[in-house]
Amino acid sequence: MEAQETIFVKMALDAWDTQSGRADKLIQSLSDEALAQETAPGRNSGIYLVGHLTAVHDAMIPLLGLGDKLYPQLETIFLKNPDKSGLEKPAVADIRLYWNTVQAVLNNHFVEIKPEDWFKKHATISHEDFLKEPHRNKLSVLINRTNHLAYHLGQMAYLKK
Amino acid sequence: MEAQETIFVKMALDAWDTQSGRADKLIQSLSDEALAQETAPGRNSGIYLVGHLTAVHDAMIPLLGLGDKLYPQLETIFLKNPDKSGLEKPAVADIRLYWNTVQAVLNNHFVEIKPEDWFKKHATISHEDFLKEPHRNKLSVLINRTNHLAYHLGQMAYLKK
């Protein structure tokens, strides 16, 4: 059933590619000024959401056993604290670079990962738990992060005039 | 590899259940007045988005070969036309009922569908195309609709004070 395994992985990667492609297109289409705006009154800014998505996707690198985070400094600003934390954020040009780099690194890995390796355990579940819950594998990380991306993409779409 | 097939279906259904559960919880927590508000200035109202999601999910019933749509009348109002179309919308209480009913009907079917049946073709792809593109199966419909739900859920979250 190697063929079927390949089909599963293709379905999950297609969904990731669709949402990632939409996010790339939206971010590129927005000016720095537009990205600095709140997505709705009193809500997260576009910059915060791009930084947040970048930090979440950067954390996928160690979670999937692909290496270390590229930008661990994003965690405090965009994961552990809210938009109006008062913490200094990187320049918009840098956030764009971080996003593009993390996405490129992930996507380069994704074309190399063998279908069967997606069904192996991710980094934060123990071997014992994985025996009982084999669905908590690397592919489940990809599926969950794709939905998380879609959720915030719906909000970032409000930055378009 | 029957076990692997089952694991993959569980992963996709878990993602659907997560997003659906969040949507249910959010919709129930919002008053009729809150649902009538725009999610952001000039953007879709909560009522429109719940109607839109209901219409999209209702269309999954025939697409997955589970029967006819329950509320075909929603298509014109919530799929083919935008929020400010001027078309009369159902009462909020009815939209809540339609949403709950469609979700219950789908979820009742989902616990009955055998894992291998999720890998069969959906209703709008030909047998010829499906032979070439076996990933365009029923499970791909579920995965795509889950991301679509997450996208609009991110917007509906803005209705919360």
pLDDT in tens, chain A (161 residues): 467 889 999 999 999 999 999 999 999 999 999 999 999 999 999 999 999 999 999 999 999 999 999 999 999 999 999 999 999 999 999 999 999 999 999 999 999 999 999 999 999 999 999 999 999 999 999 999 999 999 999 999 999 98
Which residue from A18, A19, A158 is facing B40, i.e. has the nearest CB? A158
**Sign of torsion over alpha carbons A138, A140, A146, A152:** negative
Binary contact (B5, A7; C-beta < 8 A)? no
pLDDT, mean of residues B69-74:
98
pLDDT for position B120: 95
pLDDT for position B2: 61
Enter the pTM of the model. 0.97
Contact of A50 with A107, CB cutoff 8 Å: no
Q: Which residues pair with B38 in a beta bridge?
A: B45
Q: Chain B residue with minimal CA distance to A153?
A: B151
How many CB pairs below 8 Å do chains A and B form together? 96
3-state SS class at B97: helix
Integer Cα distance of A29 and A31 in angstroms: 7
Q: Which tokens sit at B146?
A: 């889950």
Binary contact (A154, B152; C-beta < 8 A)? yes
Structure confidence by residue, pLDDT tens digits, B116-155: 999 999 999 999 999 999 999 999 999 999 999 999 999 9
Binary contact (B8, A139; C-beta < 8 A)? yes
